[in-house]
Amino acid sequence: MSPTRSTRGFTRWAVISTALVLGPVLAACGSSSATSSGPKGSVNVALNTTLSGSFGFFGLANQNAVTLAIDQINRSGGLLGKTVNVEIKDDTAKPDVASDETRTEILNDNIVALFGPVSSSVALAEQTLIGRYKIPFMLHTSNTDKLTVQDFNNYTFSVVPNTGMEGRANAIAAAKLPYTSYYLIGPDYEFGHSQLAEFKAELQKLRPDITFVGEDYPKLGATDFSTYISKIQAAQPQVIYSAEFAGDLITFLTQAKSTGLVGAATSPKLMDLFDVDTLRNLGANAPTGAYAYGRAPFFAIDTPAMRTFVSAFKARYNIAPSDWAVMAYDAVTLWADGVKKAGSFDGTAVSNAMSGMTFNSTRGPLTVRSIDHQVNCSEYEGALQADPTVGFDSFAGVTAIPGSQVLLTPDQVTAARSAG
Amino acid sequence: MTPATFLTILISGLSGAALLFLVGAGLSLVFGALRLINMAHGSLYMVGAFIAVVLIGALTSAFGFAAAIVLASVAVGALGGLIEVAVLRRLYKRDHLMQLVATFALILIIDGLVRVIFGTNFHRVSAPAALTGSIGIGNSSISVYQLFLMAVAGTVAGLLWVLVFRTRLGRSIRAAVADPELLRLAGVNVPLLFTTVFVIGALLAGLAGAVIAPYQTVSLGIDVDIVVEAFAVTIIGGLGSLRGAFLGAIVVGLVQSFGIYAAPQYAQAFIFGVMAIVLIVRPSGFFGQPER
Amino acid sequence: MSRTVGRRGGAAAVLLVALATAPLMLNRGDQYTAGLAVIAILFALSYNLLLGGTGMVSFGHAAFYGLGAFTVALVTTKALGNATEGLILAPVIGAVGGLVIGALCLRAVRLYFALLTLAVSQLLYVVAFESYSLTGGDNGIHGIPVPDFLNDPTTSYYFVFAVVAVLAAVLYLVTRSPFGAALAGIRENRQRAAFVGLSVKRYELAAFTIAGSLAAVAGALYAVYDQQAYAGLLYWTQSGIPVIMVLIGGMRTFLGPAYGALFYTVLASKVQNTTIYWDLIIGAILLAVVLALPDGLAGLPARVRALVARYRSSDDARLLIADDVPPQPDDAPLIQMPGIATAGNNAEHAATPAGAILEAHGLVKRFGGLAAVDGVDLDVVRGTVHAVIGPNGAGKSTLFSLLTGQLRPDHGTVIFDGADVTGAPPHRLARRGIGRSFQTTAVFPGLSVQENVRLAVMGAHATTRQPFGTVSRRYQSEVERTLELVGLGDHARVRAGELSHGDQRALELAISLAVKARLLVLDEPTAGMSPYETRRTMEMLRRVIVREGMTLLITEHDMEVVFGVAQRVTVMAEGRVIAEGTPEDVRADTEVVRVYLGDESLLAAGVSR
Same topology between domain A42-161+302-377 and domain A164-294+379-406:
yes
- Kindly give, in sequence order, each residue whose CB lies less than 8 Å from that of residue A262, ignoring residues fewer than 6 positions away: A240, A253, A256, A270, A287, A290
* Residue C551, min C-alpha distance to chain B (Å): 31
- The ranges assigned to domains in chain A are 42-161+302-377, 164-294+379-406
Give yes or no for C25 touching A (CB within 8 A).
yes
Instruction: Give the separation between CA C462 and CA C53, rounded to whole angstroms.
Output: 20
Instruction: Give the separation between CA C441 and CA C584, rounded to whole angstroms.
Output: 31
Residues of chain C in contact with residue B279, where contact means CB-CB under 8 angstroms, are: 108, 112, 115-116, 119
Backbone angles phi, psi at C430, to 5 degrees: -60, -40
Instruction: Give the separation between CA C478 and CA C461, rounded to whole angstroms.
Output: 12
Say what the pLDDT of residue C315 is: 47
* Cβ contact B275–C277 (<8 Å): no
Which residue of chain A comes nearest to C28, CA vs CA?
Answer: A107
* Residue A26, min C-alpha distance to chain C (Å): 11
**Looking at domain A164-294+379-406, does it have CATH number 3.40.50.2300?**
yes
Strand partners, A183: A214, A240
pLDDT exceeds cutoff 80 at C436? no
CB C400 within 8 Å of CB C521: yes
Question: Is residue B122 a part of any domain in this protein?
Answer: yes
Percent of chain C's residues with pLDDT above 90: 24
CB C209 within 8 Å of CB C41: no
Residues of chain C in contact with residue B100, where contact means CB-CB under 8 angstroms, are: 57, 59, 114
Low-confidence ranges of chain B (pLDDT < 50): 292
Neighbours of chain C (3+ CB pairs under 8 A): A, B
Q: Over the stretch A248-303, which tens digit does the pLDDT of each residue have? A: 999 999 999 988 899 888 899 999 999 999 999 899 899 999 999 999 999 999 99
CB C419 within 8 Å of CB C432: yes
* Residue C214, min C-alpha distance to chain B (Å): 22
Backbone angles phi, psi at A200, to 5 degrees: -60, -45
Give yes or no for B99 touching A (CB within 8 A).
no
User: Is the pTM above the cut of 0.90?
Assistant: no
| Cα pseudo-dihedral B160, B164, B167, B172, rounded to 10 | 140
* Residue B238, min C-alpha distance to chain C (Å): 11
Full domain range(s) for residue B221: 3-281
Percent of chain A's residues with pLDDT above 90: 76
SS3 for C376-400 is: EEEEEECCCEEEEECCCCCCHHHHH
- Kindly give, in sequence order, each residue whose CB lies less than 8 Å from that of residue C386, ignoring residues fewer than 6 positions away: C380, C551, C552, C553, C554, C566, C567, C568, C569, C570
Confidence of residue C3 (pLDDT cuts 50, 70, 90): low
Say what the pLDDT of residue C50 is: 94
Question: Is residue B173 a part of any domain in this protein?
Answer: yes
Give yes or no for A118 touching C (CB within 8 A).
no
Instruction: Give the separation between CA C430 and CA C432, rounded to whole angstroms.
Output: 5
pLDDT exceeds cutoff 50 at A3? no
Instruction: Give the separation between CA C128 and CA C140, rounded to whole angstroms.
Output: 9
Confidence of residue C64 (pLDDT cuts 50, 70, 90): very high
The DSSP 8-state label assigned to residue C240 in this structure reads H
Confidence of residue C298 (pLDDT cuts 50, 70, 90): confident
SS3 C371: strand
Mean pLDDT of A43-72: 91
* Residue B287, min C-alpha distance to chain C (Å): 14
Q: Where are the beta strands (DSSP E) in A245-374?
A: 269-273, 291-294, 358-361, 364-367
Mean pLDDT of A160-179: 96
Residues of chain C in contact with residue B228, where contact means CB-CB under 8 angstroms, are: 118, 122, 236
Partner residue opposite C273 with nearest CB, options A24, A27, A90: A90
CB A59 within 8 Å of CB A116: yes
Q: Determine if residue C106 is left, alpha or beta; phi over 0 gives left, psi from -120 to 50 gives alpha, anything else beta.
A: alpha
The DSSP 8-state label assigned to residue C335 in this structure reads P
Looking at every residue in chain B, the average pLDDT score rounds to 89
Mean pLDDT of A44-64: 89
Say what the pLDDT of residue A355 is: 96
Residues of chain A in contact with residue C230, where contact means CB-CB under 8 angstroms, are: 95, 121, 125
Partner residue opposite A190 with nearest CB, options C137, C142, C276: C137
Question: Is residue B273 a part of any domain in this protein?
Answer: yes
Question: Is residue B286 a part of any domain in this protein?
Answer: no
pLDDT exceeds cutoff 80 at C594? no
Say what the pLDDT of residue A159 is: 97
* Residue B97, min C-alpha distance to chain A (Å): 27
> What DSSP letter does each residue of B66-83 carry, written as one string?
HHHHHHHHHHHHHHHHHH
* Range with the poorest average pLDDT among A200-209, A395-404, C293-302, C472-481: C293-302
Longest Cα–Cα distance of chain B, Å, equals 61
Give yes or no for C477 touching A (CB within 8 A).
no
* Cβ contact A92–C233 (<8 Å): no
Say what the pLDDT of residue C322 is: 29
SS3 A190: helix
Which fold, A42-161+302-377? Rossmann fold (3.40.50)
Question: Is residue B159 a part of any domain in this protein?
Answer: yes
Instruction: Give the separation between CA C61 and CA C217, rounded to whole angstroms.
Output: 13
Give chain B's domain count: 1
Give, in order, the Cα–Cα distances in Å from B232 to each of A250, B100, B274, C299, C482. 27, 16, 8, 36, 50
Long-range contacts of C576-579 (CB under 8 A, 24+ apart): C576/C374, C576/C375, C576/C376, C576/C395, C577/C376, C577/C377, C577/C378
* Residue B127, min C-alpha distance to chain C (Å): 31
* Cβ contact A89–C226 (<8 Å): no
Selected residue of B108, B139, B216, B270 to mutate for chain A interface (largest A Cβ count, 10 A)? B216
- Kindly give, in sequence order, each residue whose CB lies less than 8 Å from that of residue A389, ignoring residues fewer than 6 positions away: none
Identify which of B45, B43, B39 has the alpha carbon closest to the alpha carbon of residue B23: B45
* Cβ contact A190–C151 (<8 Å): no
* Cβ contact B291–C111 (<8 Å): yes
The number of beta carbons lying within 10 Å of the beta carbon of residue C127 is 17
Q: Over the stretch C534-590, which tens digit does the pLDDT of each residue have? A: 877 777 777 777 777 788 888 887 777 777 778 888 888 888 888 888 888 887 887
Say what the pLDDT of residue A10 is: 40
Question: Is residue B172 a part of any domain in this protein?
Answer: yes
* Residue A278, min C-alpha distance to chain B (Å): 10
Looking at every residue in chain C, the average pLDDT score rounds to 81
| Cα pseudo-dihedral C315, C319, C325, C330, rounded to 10 | -90
Say what the pLDDT of residue C354 is: 52
Identify which of B14, B22, B68 has the alpha carbon closest to the alpha carbon of residue B45: B22
pLDDT exceeds cutoff 90 at C345? no
Instruction: Give the separation between CA A387 and CA C389, rounded to whole angstroms.
Output: 89
Higher pLDDT, C5 or A408: A408
- Kindly give, in sequence order, each residue whose CB lies less than 8 Å from that of residue C578, ignoring residues fewer than 6 positions away: C571, C572, C589, C591, C592, C595
Give yes or no for B149 touching A (CB within 8 A).
no
CB C522 within 8 Å of CB C554: yes
Partner residue opposite B102 with nearest CB, options C107, C278, C287: C287
pLDDT exceeds cutoff 80 at C445? yes
Selected residue of A54, A193, A258, A392 to mutate for chain B interface (largest B Cβ count, 10 A)? A258
Using CB atoms within 10 A of its CB, is residue A85 exposed (0-12), middle (13-18) or buried (19+)? middle
Q: Which of residues 167-206 of B touch A (CB under 8 A)?
A: none
Residue B41: give its domain's CATH number: 1.10.3470
Give yes or no for A121 touching C (CB within 8 A).
yes
Instruction: Give the separation between CA C148 and CA A205, rounded to whole angstroms.
Output: 47
pLDDT exceeds cutoff 50 at A16? no
Which residue of chain C comes nearest to B274, CA vs CA?
Answer: C119
The number of beta carbons lying within 10 Å of the beta carbon of residue A312 is 16
Give yes or no for B221 touching C (CB within 8 A).
no
Give, in order, the Cα–Cα distances in Å from B273 to each of A227, B247, C55, C119, C209. 21, 17, 26, 7, 22
Partner residue opposite C27 with nearest CB, options A96, A108, A121: A108
* Cβ contact A121–C138 (<8 Å): yes
Mean pLDDT of C172-179: 90
Backbone angles phi, psi at C358, to 5 degrees: -135, 130
- Kindly give, in sequence order, each residue whose CB lies less than 8 Å from that of residue A153, ignoring residues fewer than 6 positions away: A127, A130, A131
A-B interface: how many C-beta pairs under 8 angstroms? 123
At A364, the amino acid letter reads G
Backbone angles phi, psi at C460, to 5 degrees: -65, -35
Say what the pLDDT of residue C441 is: 63
Using CB atoms within 10 A of its CB, is residue A276 exposed (0-12), middle (13-18) or buried (19+)? buried
Residues of chain C in contact with residue B269, where contact means CB-CB under 8 angstroms, are: 123, 126-127, 130
* Cβ contact A218–B8 (<8 Å): no
* Range with the poorest average pLDDT among A392-406, C199-213, C439-453: C439-453
Strand partners, C554: C387, C522
Identify which of C382, C401, C514, C494 has the alpha carbon closest to the alpha carbon of residue C453: C514
Give, in order, the Cα–Cα distances in Å from C400 to each of C3, C395, C411, C435. 44, 9, 15, 11
Q: Over the stretch C121-154, which tens digit does the pLDDT of each residue have? A: 999 999 999 888 889 888 889 889 888 888 888 8
Backbone angles phi, psi at C326, to 5 degrees: -65, 145
Q: Which of residues 71-110 of A touch C (CB under 8 A)?
A: 89-92, 94-97, 99-101, 103-109
Instruction: Give the separation between CA A241 and CA C595, rounded to whole angstroms.
Output: 81
CB A140 within 8 Å of CB A330: yes
Mean pLDDT of C272-285: 83
Confidence of residue A124 (pLDDT cuts 50, 70, 90): very high
* Cβ contact C291–B268 (<8 Å): no
Neighbours of chain B (3+ CB pairs under 8 A): A, C
Question: Is residue B252 a part of any domain in this protein?
Answer: yes
Identify which of A149, A197, A132, A208 has the alpha carbon closest to the alpha carbon of residue A175: A208
* Cβ contact B257–A223 (<8 Å): no
Say what the pLDDT of residue C325 is: 33
Residues of chain B in contact with residue A188, where contact means CB-CB under 8 angstroms, are: 265
Partner residue opposite B279 with nearest CB, options C119, C244, C286: C119
Strand partners, A269: A239
Give yes or no for A23 touching C (CB within 8 A).
no
Which residue of chain B comes nearest to C293, CA vs CA?
Answer: B98
Say what the pLDDT of residue C349 is: 36
